[in-house]
Structure 1
Amino acid sequence: MRSAFLRLLLQEDLNFLLTNRIPRRWATALVGRIAAVEHPLVARPALAAWRFFSDVDLSDAATTEFRSLRDGFVRRLRPGARAYDRDPATLASPCDAILGAHGRIEGDRVYQVKGFPYRLGDLVPDPALVDRFRDGWYVTLRLTAAMYHRFHAPADLTVEGVTYLSGDCWNVNPIALRRVEQLFCRNERAVIEVSAGGRPLLLVPVAAILVASIRLGFLDVETVLREQGSARVACDARIGKGDEMGWFEHGSTILLFLPHAARLRDGLRLGDTIRAGQVLADW
């Protein structure tokens, strides 16, 4: 029954209709409220539905007892569950994910899926920042609802600035990416400027439908939005490789941009399941 129901939901037209043609903001606010409720009459059915609809694996979770659906989404892992290579010449995946579009940036053109390009300049508001990654490399990392939702520093780094951009909350699954042009440029996102050993790196967590919130451990996002809107916030946050940077309150996507001198590892394949700490590139 479960497999038949999931096959029905994955039918492309129906999936797109159910997850994108509903009032997205309203649905996101509603599910966000439900996810935060700790009363057992709400939390238990919500957690049961999450486990039914997503192929969640809690074998490496620090606990399998959650007070709310949100607790399940933002769960922590047991110590040592993800290993990071300490070599400063390697760049690791910041999160568990399914590998999406990746490769060389063509000037400032990148792809959300084959045949659907977008401009880095439409994603990132600072032209000078865009120029640092012209002809560089990009990696798309999609977190599903079942996955570990926290993301970590892919290298020893210093966060130099964050621009939080309000936006829509389209679904970021492959079905939507094949139908909505420049989807990542439309959605709520945080542009995180990083220096790692003097080399530039850009992480762009992109929120999505249902529980869209992005949280950063080194910055109070809600206060920034309330007081400064989408203005750039200067930072000087030093974070060690593998240390936590933030989390999503539902599955979404992290876009990773590397400079021209870096090189993606051979063997990366579209649709691969990636674990936080897995080496993605050398630089």
Structure 2
Amino acid sequence: MTVKNLISALTAQEDLNFLLTNRIPRAALTRFMGWFSKIENPLIRDLSIGCWRLFSDLDLSEAKKTRFNSLHDCFTRELRPGLRPVDSDPSVVVSPSDAIIGAFGTIRDGELYQIKGAPYSLLDLVGDPALVDAHRNGRFVTLRLTSSMYHRFHSPQDCHIEQVTFIHGDTWNVNPIALKRIERLFCKNERAVIRTRLASGDPLTLVPVAAILVASLRLHVLDRVLNAQTVGPVVFPCDVDVKKGDELGWFEHGSTIILLAPAHFEFCGNVSEWSRIRAGEALLRKPAV
């Protein structure tokens, strides 16, 4: 058995996985990782990326750069142009990121699911009753980014960004094991609520949720990083138009994006739980009138 297979076998044990990734000083470790990952030392960089490869299926063959200044530089890597073509159908809402599709479906009575049988409140997630009303009986889909994936995310449709709200919180792991054990996990973690509106007037909302080692989110529309050190106003009015596929920002490791769409949108045929999807691929479709 290889070292990687041994590590995979050990971390597949739910109790051990949960202990290793949650019953530790999460906030302190996340702050440390934020500092450590930015060290621009060739030895530290190479050892860190080598360790990352050992614990994951990291593949850097698509990266725009072949050498990185630091572990952080590798985390937030760009891809070579043309590797994530965007579905050009104007009725289609595309995936904003590379991801594994988690729970998805209809928001019923203001509730959605982190996994089957584990509901949580949309109001607890977004903190705004008006936004809850806008998405009443709408669609939701959970997109989980693993640590080895491309970490930048993009606009799922041509839209107008109206507001970003940053919500301080914890840094629980967001893997399936934690989702089974921690109620309302997405509502506990640090997150941003990105409110947009389509040309039709329909609301489309993205909620990037941070996690352990990840609690920093860079949004181009604000030209700033949002994390536990963010002070002052947490509601940022915006007035920015973006095109489908435009880069919106990035996570600094890997996490989750919850996308909220109108009730009359339909999931595309490629959407199924635990399947993989890439940025730019069809996710939802607005039916023809």
TM bin (shorter chain): over 0.9
Alignment of 1:219-230 (within 5 A): 219-222=222-225, 225-228=230-233, 230=234
Matched residue, 2:50: 48
Alignment of 1:259-274 (within 5 A): 259-274=262-277
Partners of 1:24 and 1:115 in 2: CA distance? 26
Write the deviation string for residues 190-230 of structure 1: whole angstroms up to 9, x where unpaired. 000001112110100000001321110111444893231x3
Partners of 2:225 and 2:82 in 1: CA distance? 31
Query: Aligned letter for 1:226?
Result: V
Partners of 2:51 and 2:264 in 1: CA distance? 45
CA contact (8 A) 1:29 1:211 kept: no
Are 2:20 and 1:24 equivalent residues in the alignment? no
Write the deviation string for residues 240-270 of structure 1: whole angstroms up to 9, x where unpaired. 1101001000100000000111111134211
SS of match in other structure, 1:146: coil
Write the deviation string for residues 62-120 of structure 1: whole angstroms up to 9, x where unpaired. 12311111111100001101011222211000000000000111121000001110010
CA contact (8 A) 1:94 1:277 kept: yes
CA contact (8 A) 2:270 2:283 kept: no
SS of match in other structure, 1:36: coil
Identity among equivalent positions (%) equals 53
SS of match in other structure, 1:178: helix
CA contact (8 A) 1:74 1:247 kept: yes
Shift of 1:22: 0.1
CA contact (8 A) 1:94 1:276 kept: yes
Partners of 1:204 and 1:221 in 2: CA distance? 17
Partners of 1:11 and 1:5 in 2: CA distance? 10
Partners of 2:226 and 2:51 in 1: CA distance? 32
Shift of 1:32: 1.2
Shift of 1:10: 2.1
Partners of 2:61 and 2:198 in 1: CA distance? 33
CA contact (8 A) 1:103 1:139 kept: yes
Query: 1:4 is matched with which residue: 3, 6, 20?
Result: 6
Partners of 2:129 and 2:255 in 1: CA distance? 25
**Gap change, CA 1:48 and 1:77, over 3 Å in 2:** same
Matched residue, 1:280: 283
Matched residue, 1:144: 146
Matched residue, 1:250: 253
Matched residue, 2:119: 117
Q: TM-score, normalised by structure 1?
A: 0.96
CA contact (8 A) 1:95 1:276 kept: yes
Write the deviation string for residues 168-197 of structure 1: whole angstroms up to 9, x where unpaired. 000000000000000000000000000111
SS of match in other structure, 1:158: strand
Matched residue, 1:35: 37
CA-based RMSD of the aligned residues comes to 1.3
CA contact (8 A) 2:268 2:282 kept: yes
- Aligned residue pair count: 281
Matched residue, 1:85: 87
Partners of 1:150 and 1:195 in 2: CA distance? 21
Partners of 2:244 and 2:88 in 1: CA distance? 7
Partners of 1:92 and 1:181 in 2: CA distance? 29
Shift of 1:7: 1.3
Q: Any gaps of 5 or more consecutive residues in structure 1?
A: none
Shift of 1:50: 1.0
Matched residue, 1:238: 241
Runs of at least 4 residues off by over 2 Å: 220-227
CA contact (8 A) 2:216 2:226 kept: no
CA contact (8 A) 2:111 2:122 kept: yes
Query: Aligned letter for 1:8?
Result: L
CA contact (8 A) 1:157 1:238 kept: yes
Are 2:67 and 1:62 equivalent residues in the alignment? no
Alignment of 1:138-217 (within 5 A): 138-197=140-199, 198-217=201-220
**Gap change, CA 1:236 and 1:183, over 3 Å in 2:** same
